[in-house]
């Protein structure tokens, strides 16, 4: 705790030192209210480009823009006090080369107040990650199933089965070597994720990977049961808030149609409100 009594905000070096220790808890957030909910419990909060599918109804993450990531990053920043905030670099904002990646990442950090960015890709992105890390931009890498390459993969398929596992391993080793402070392993076979975690000196964060990873991440709307359009095998539903919300909305609609809402306690009379303690009750 600081002298002000507030918890210290976690940094990329703090996350890096958690290798092999208590697993890192990571979730996505896209809005201020959700950021406030997850902040006390999480080590890392990712403003993911999954926002395109979850909140904007896009068919994939490919339509997400840098402006969208900045807007949602600003909203999440307002709700965080403790967790490390990482913002996804959207498709088309960094692949051209290190210079483009730096301009995009610098804008994201300056306008959102995030402490790190995440980008997809292994060996192909190694020089870009080296360039960013060498210029003060902490990078969380992402290998395995990289959703921005969904068209190249032919869908959201498990990556790294059989002999293809060596490709994923090389990707993970490459991003660690050039300065990434952590790496997300998405939708890869469990033995492969376990092996990579044992080999890497930086934390691995699994999503559809292995309990041996140094941390886990899920899309918050998935684990709360709010997003039902896409239900990956690796998601555990910790609640079914979508069903609860649907029932509540249906009850509201019925009460409105039957003129049971608003009731007397929800409307205002013509006389002034009673005053208690100098303020209107």
First to last CA, the chain: 37
186 is catalytic: yes
Q: Is 216 helix (H, G, I), strand (E, B) or coil?
A: strand
Please report which residue ranges of 78-181 form alpha helices under DSSP H: 98-112, 126-133, 150-153, 165-177
Show the tokens assigned to 124.
Answer: 């192909």
Out of 127, 163, 177, 186, which one is annotated catalytic? Answer: 186
Question: Cα(54)–Cα(276) distance, rounded to whole angstroms?
Answer: 44
CA distances from 245 to 130, 226, 227, 249 (A): 45, 9, 12, 6
Number of C-beta neighbours around residue 112 at 10 A? 21
Euclidean distance between CA atoms 195 and 191, whole angstroms: 6
- The CA distance from 220 to 277, in Å, is 42
Contacts of residue 168, defined as CB under 8 A and 6 or more positions apart, other chains included, come to: 122, 143, 144, 159, 160, 185, 188, 192, 196
Q: Which residue has the tokens 């902040």?
A: 39
- The span from the CA of 66 to the CA of 49, in Å, is 10
Closest CA to 234 of 204, 211, 207: 207
Q: Which residues are catalytic?
A: 186
């Amino acid at each position: 705790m600081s002298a002000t009594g507030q918890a210290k905000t976690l940094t990329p070096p703090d996350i890096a030192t958690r290798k092999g220790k208590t697993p890192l808890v990571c979730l996505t957030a896209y809005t201020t209210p959700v950021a406030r909910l997850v902040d006390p419990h999480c080590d890392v909060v990712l403003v993911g480009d999954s926002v395109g599918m979850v909140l904007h109804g896009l068919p994939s993450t490919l339509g997400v823009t840098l402006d969208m990531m900045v807007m949602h990053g600003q909203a999440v920043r307002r709700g965080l006090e403790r967790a490390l905030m990482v913002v996804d670099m959207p498709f088309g904002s960094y692949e051209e080369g290190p210079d483009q990646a730096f301009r995009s990442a610098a804008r994201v950090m300056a306008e959102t107040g995030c402490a790190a960015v995440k980008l997809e890709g292994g060996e192909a992105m190694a020089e870009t990650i080296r360039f960013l890390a060498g210029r003060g931009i902490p990078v969380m890498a992402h290998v395995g199933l990289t959703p921005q390459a969904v068209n190249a993969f032919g869908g959201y398929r498990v990556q790294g089965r059989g002999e293809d596992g060596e490709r994923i391993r090389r990707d993970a080793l490459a991003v660690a070597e050039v300065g990434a402070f952590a790496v997300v392993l998405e939708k890869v076979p469990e033995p492969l994720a376990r092996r990579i975690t044992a080999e890497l000196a930086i934390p691995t964060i699994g999503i559809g990977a292995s309990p041996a990873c140094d941390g886990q991440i899920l899309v918050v709307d998935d684990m709360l049961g709010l997003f039902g359009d896409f239900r990956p095998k690796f998601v555990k539903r910790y609640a079914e808030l979508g069903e609860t919300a649907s029932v509540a909305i249906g009850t509201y609609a019925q009460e409105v149609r039957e003129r049971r809402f608003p009731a007397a306690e929800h409307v205002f009379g013509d006389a002034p409100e009673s005053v208690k303690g100098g303020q209107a009750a």
